[in-house]
Structure 1
Amino acid sequence: MRYAQGGGLTDAERGKRERLRLQAVERFETGQKNAEVAAALRVSVRSAERWRRAWREHGEAGLLSKGSPGRSKLSKPQVTRLERELERGPLAQGWADQRWTLARIRTLIGRLFHVSYTVEGAWQLLKRHGWSWQQPARRAIERDDEAVEVWKKETWPRVRVMRRSAGPGSSLRTRPGNR
């Protein structure tokens, strides 16, 4: 099931759904049909069918919530340590440059905590803890910002005026409707 903005159910919402499934069990035990249970609990018949099957196969335990599917493999102290290590930078971790990539972060998590994450999982972990994707602006070391400003103010206006206007042989004049 997909939820808006890529999120799942909160703990409170999961609890509410679990209580709904347990109400369905009470109705199954009285012999109500799936369609009746679905109508009474305002869910789809398909959900009632799935719940009845899980109840038959596993009892009430089959309808209890299994918790958040997106639980982090790292504890809060581990996430705090990871953030400290990320702030130290890639050079401090043994990489040759100052770029953090998801693959490097994934490797760092494995080195520090002996836990395996996918690249996507590492990204989800970072997003959950307030990190954002950024790409550094690439500027030449030799760039002279003052010279750029002078060029914009003095040279660019002259170049812009010199652009060819619509004249003989110009495609602007030969188009129908431009006469």
Structure 2
Amino acid sequence: MRYPQGGGLTAERRELRERLRFEAAAGFARGEDNAVIAHQLRVSVRSVQRWRRAWSVEGRDGLRSKGPASLPLLSDEQFAVLEYELDKGPAEHGWPDQKWTLPRIKTVIGRRFHISYTTKGVSVLLHRHGWSWQVPARRAVERDDAAVAVWVKDVWPQVKTPRRRSGPGWSSKTRQGSR
């Protein structure tokens, strides 16, 4: 089971799923049908079928959690070294500006640890350790808020394309025929 944040199940969620599997095992022992167990536990019938197959081969041990789906490639000690490298800044690693991007961090990981990550993998790694994307702390010195407000009020309505109307009489055929 995957989540938008990129991680798998947390330890608590794995324990919950394991308890569900053990409840299903009690239903198996009572001879209940897969569909009934799935309905009671609010899971898919397919999951119950898979659990029943594991239970019939290995018993209750076949339903135990096997731990996280994947372990991170960088250890906590290596991630601490990576944080030290990131604190040095992109210029220290050969980039002309002070912006860290996922591809740049991926390159630093490859150079420093000889480990290949995907860009998405770098994102997951950083989020797993509490990092998130950042917004600049200050606005550009040249910014003129009054000029921006005037532009939004006066210029933008003229530039913006009008919304297409819908409803009776607004189709292109009707408008062409009414001329």
Q: Residues 120, 3 of structure 1: CA spacing in aligned structure 2 closer, same or farther, 3 A cutoff? A: closer
Query: Could you say which residue in structure 1 is the equivalent of 2:54?
Result: 54
Q: Which residue identity is paired with 1:24?
A: A
SS in 1 for 2:80: helix
Change (3 A) 1:66 1:32: same
Whether 1:80 and 2:80 are equivalent positions in the alignment is yes
Amino acid of the structure 2 residue aligned with 1:100: W
1:14-163 aligned at under 5 Å gives the runs 14-56=14-56, 60-69=60-69, 71-134=71-134
Percent identity of paired positions between Structure 1 and Structure 2 = 54
Gap change, CA 1:128 and 1:40, over 3 Å in 2: closer
Which structure is richer in relative contact order (CA contacts within 8 A, separation 6 or more)? 2
Query: 1:59 offset after TM fit, Å?
Result: 5.2
Q: How many residues align?
A: 147
Post-superposition CA distance 1:53-95 (Å, at most 9, x none)? 3334665554332323364222211111111100101222233
- Normalised by the length of structure 2, the TM-score is 0.62
- Contact kept? 2:25, 2:52, Cα under 8 Å: yes
Deviation at 1:112, TM superposition (A): 1.8
Task: Letter of the 1:103 partner, please give it.
Answer: P
Q: Deviations over 1:143-175 (max 9, x none)?
A: 7x6xx87x97xxx9xxx9xxxxxxxxxxxxxxx
C-alpha distance in 2 between matches for 1:6 and 1:94: 29
Task: Let me know the Cα RMSD of the aligned residues.
Answer: 3.5
Change (3 A) 1:40 1:92: same
Q: Separation in 1 of the partners of 2:120 and 2:6?
A: 14
Stretch deviating more after TM superposition (98-107 or 30-39): 30-39
Which region of structure 1 is more displaced relative to structure 2, 84-93 or 3-12? 3-12
Structure 2 counterpart of 1:115, which letter?
I
For the residues of structure 2 that align with 1:116 and 1:59, how far apart are their CA atoms?
39
Q: In the aligned structure 2, how far is the partner of 1:64 from the partner of 1:32?
A: 20
- 1:73 is paired with a residue whose SS is coil
Change (3 A) 1:2 1:93: closer
2:158 equivalent in structure 1: none
Structure 1 unmatched runs, 5+: 161-179
Structure 2 Cα separation of the partners of residues 4 and 103 of structure 1: 20
Which consecutive residues of structure 2, in runs of 5 or more, have no partner in the other structure? 155-179
When structure 1 is superposed on structure 2, of 65-74 and 97-106 the one drifting more is 65-74
CA–CA separation in structure 2 for the residues paired with 1:41 and 1:135: 43
Q: So what's the TM-score if we normalise by structure 1?
A: 0.62
Note closer, same or farther for the CA distance 1:4–1:98 as it changes in structure 2 (3 Å cut): closer
Kindly state the Cα deviation for residue 99 of structure 1 after the two structures are TM-superposed. 2.7
Distance 1:77 1:16, change over 3 A: same
